[in-house]
């Protein structure tokens, strides 16, 4: 197995945010280097075992019984196949399953970990259990496994958590050990400093790379360009752009032009941004249509040019096989450009051809209606969609949020209750909408509905002592008994405190 830092391509993927998030620039940072970690592993192909694992769609359902049954039936499975499964589950963002397979590989099949395996496991532990568990794992592995791979994985973990102090400390350890000798850790730190606004440190890293003779690769250049965009330093961004276009060792691909377009848009330079977007379109490779299409939509929406948005949609839509995300993005983009009719047409087109109804696409149109105060339309489209289908809790939650923002609180409470009634076990309502609805119920003295909301919060594991404070105040203000509330508080693990004593100081009836 490759153990150098340059082997980290695909071990720690780009620090991507989805295109619809508020900071599209963050998706342009890259922590890749040049060689794939799994270069010695054949690309995953469809196998009976893989097909059985893929039938388990719920990440909370373990895949271990599938593996145990496989070997229990006398069928062989080698380390390379297990590594491929880990890779594929990670690629599908099924991190819990990837971690289970990684651990089963050593705990039940007794295959030894390579440094690359350990680094991948560290990254998966952070994703599944959090940074503290990842740190504990790093401290527990043998010195044989603490190579540049494991240090790099921990460094990436700190960058993802935006922990500057810890990232700098691990980088210093790498320097002392003589393993900070490639562009990879510098690329990662450039990413971190740009995202937290410590731009002066970016320049210091570049100086250090030059002093140590560490060559800059395409990822260094790309991250540096994105850092200048984050700093709104258009002049420096343009110098990087010129360099990458003139130096044959770099490839001026669609990513660099998307960064430049984002920079120009942030600076209000629409004409230059449109020029970069044209360059970006010309550089899109055929097999990259889906992911780049989503970036294009988000960037053209920022230009405010509805005609260009429709042109891109018409050009790339025939090349897209997966429809839900592009349609959702197009609906949101058109709504932001005040083209509700266009958003409706796109939704109707999606609805007419979808094979599996994804309420998240509907949510985009509902949110657009709510922002415009078109609640009759919002409820109508939802009521039509739920006929014969089980809606997502998020759909009712979008309506609840919309009603609350327009101060139609009785409807907001109604929709919140619907959301909480259909929410899956792991779904939790947004804290702010719950608080807003409880504020309203307290103002109205509506103890009964407040009790319903509190009971539903208990079911979704979002119950808090503050909710009982509200219920006590509301009951006392309405002259209603509170003894049963105090007993229920105790049963739910909330003991009386100073705030309860303060509220009870005004009690009229137990």
- Segment 470-484, tens digit of pLDDT: 888 998 888 888 888
User: SS3 of 36, please?
Assistant: strand
Residue 9 φ/ψ, nearest 5 degrees: -60, 125
The set of residues, in sequence order, having a beta carbon less than 8 Å from that of 14 and lying 6+ positions away, is: 27, 29, 30, 31, 32
pLDDT surpassing 80 at residue 290: no
In contact, 411 and 376? CB cutoff 8 Å: no
User: SS3 of 9, please?
Assistant: strand
pLDDT surpassing 90 at residue 24: no
Q: Which residues pair with 9 in a beta bridge?
A: 36
Local confidence band at 489 (pLDDT 50, 70, 90 cut-offs): confident
- Segment 238-261, tens digit of pLDDT: 999 999 888 888 888 899 999 999
pLDDT score for 507: 53
pLDDT surpassing 80 at residue 18: no
In contact, 474 and 441? CB cutoff 8 Å: yes
d(CA 5, CA 444): 62
pLDDT surpassing 90 at residue 8: no
- DSSP class per residue in 186-242: HHHHHHHHHHHT-HHHHHHHHHHHHHHT----HHHHHHHHHHHHHTT-HHHHHHHHH
Alpha helix segments (H runs only) across 373-430:
375-385, 393-405, 409-422
Q: Which whole-number Å values give the CA distances from 301 to 96, 264, 335, in the listed order?
A: 35, 14, 10
* Kind plus residue range of the DSSP H or E element containing 341: helix 340-353
d(CA 161, CA 238): 30
**Interval 164-188 mean pLDDT:** 95
Entry pTM: 0.73
pLDDT surpassing 60 at residue 349: yes
**Interval 334-354 mean pLDDT:** 94
d(CA 507, CA 172): 61
- Segment 436-488, tens digit of pLDDT: 999 999 999 999 999 999 989 888 888 888 988 888 899 888 888 888 888 88
Report helix angle 409-422 to 431-444, nearest 10: 130
In this structure, how many other beta carbons lie within 10 angstroms of the beta carbon of residue 54? 16
């Amino acid at each position: 197995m490759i153990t150098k830092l340059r082997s980290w391509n695909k071990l720690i993927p780009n620090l991507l945010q989805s295109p619809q998030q508020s900071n599209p620039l963050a998706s342009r940072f890259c922590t890749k280097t040049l060689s794939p970690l799994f270069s010695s592993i054949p690309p995953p192909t469809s196998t009976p075992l893989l097909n059985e694992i893929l039938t388990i769609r719920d990440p909370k359902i373990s895949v271990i019984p599938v593996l145990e049954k496989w070997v229990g039936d006398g069928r062989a499975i080698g380390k390379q196949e297990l590594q491929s499964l880990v890779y594929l589950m990670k690629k599908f963002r099924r991190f819990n399953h990837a971690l289970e397979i990684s651990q089963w590989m050593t705990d039940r099949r007794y295959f030894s970990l390579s440094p690359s395996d350990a680094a991948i496991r560290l990254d998966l532990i952070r994703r599944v259990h959090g940074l503290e568990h990842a740190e504990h794992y790093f401290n527990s592995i043998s010195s044989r496994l603490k190579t540049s791979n494991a240090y790099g994985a921990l460094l990436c973990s700190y960058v993802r958590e935006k922990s500057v102090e810890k990232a700098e400390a691990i980088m210093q350890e790498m320097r002392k050990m003589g393993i900070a000798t490639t562009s990879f850790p510098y690329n990662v730190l450039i990413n971190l400093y740009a995202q937290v606004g410590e731009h002066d440190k970016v320049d210091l890293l570049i100086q250090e790379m030059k002093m140590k003779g560490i060559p800059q690769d395409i990822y260094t250049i790309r991250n540096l360009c994105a850092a200048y965009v984050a700093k709104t330093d258009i002049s420096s961004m343009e110098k990087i752009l010129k360099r990458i276009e003139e130096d044959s060792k770099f490839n001026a691909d669609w990513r660099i032009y998307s960064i430049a377009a984002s920079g120009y848009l942030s600076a209000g330079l629409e004409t230059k941004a449109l020029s970069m977007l044209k360059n970006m379109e010309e550089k899109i490779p055929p097999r990259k249509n889906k992911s780049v299409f989503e970036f294009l939509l988000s960037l053209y929406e920022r230009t405010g040019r509805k005609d260009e948005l429709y042109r891109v949609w018409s050009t790339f839509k025939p090349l897209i096989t997966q429809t839900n995300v592009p349609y959702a993005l197009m609906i949101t983009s058109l709504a932001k450009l005040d083209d509700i009719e266009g958003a409706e047409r796109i939704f109707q087109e999606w609805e007419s051809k979808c094979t599996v109804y994804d309420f998240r696409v509907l949510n985009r149109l509902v949110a657009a209606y709510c922002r415009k105060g078109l609640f009759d339309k919002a409820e109508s489209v939802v009521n039509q969609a739920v006929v014969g289908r089980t809606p997502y809790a998020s759909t009712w939650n979008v309506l609840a949020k919309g009603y609350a923002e327009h101060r139609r609180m009785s409807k907001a409470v109604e929709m919140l209750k619907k959301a909480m009634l259909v929410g899956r076990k792991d779904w939790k309502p947004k804290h702010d909408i719950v608080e807003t609805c409880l504020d309203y119920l307290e103002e109205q003295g509506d103890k009964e509905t407040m009790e319903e909301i509190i009971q539903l919060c208990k079911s979704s594991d979002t119950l808090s002592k503050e909710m009982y404070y509200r219920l006590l105040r509301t009951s006392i203000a309405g002259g209603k008994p509170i003894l049963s509330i105090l007993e229920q508080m105790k049963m739910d693990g909330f003991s009386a405190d100073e705030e309860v004593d303060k509220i009870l100081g005004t009690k009229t009836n137990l």
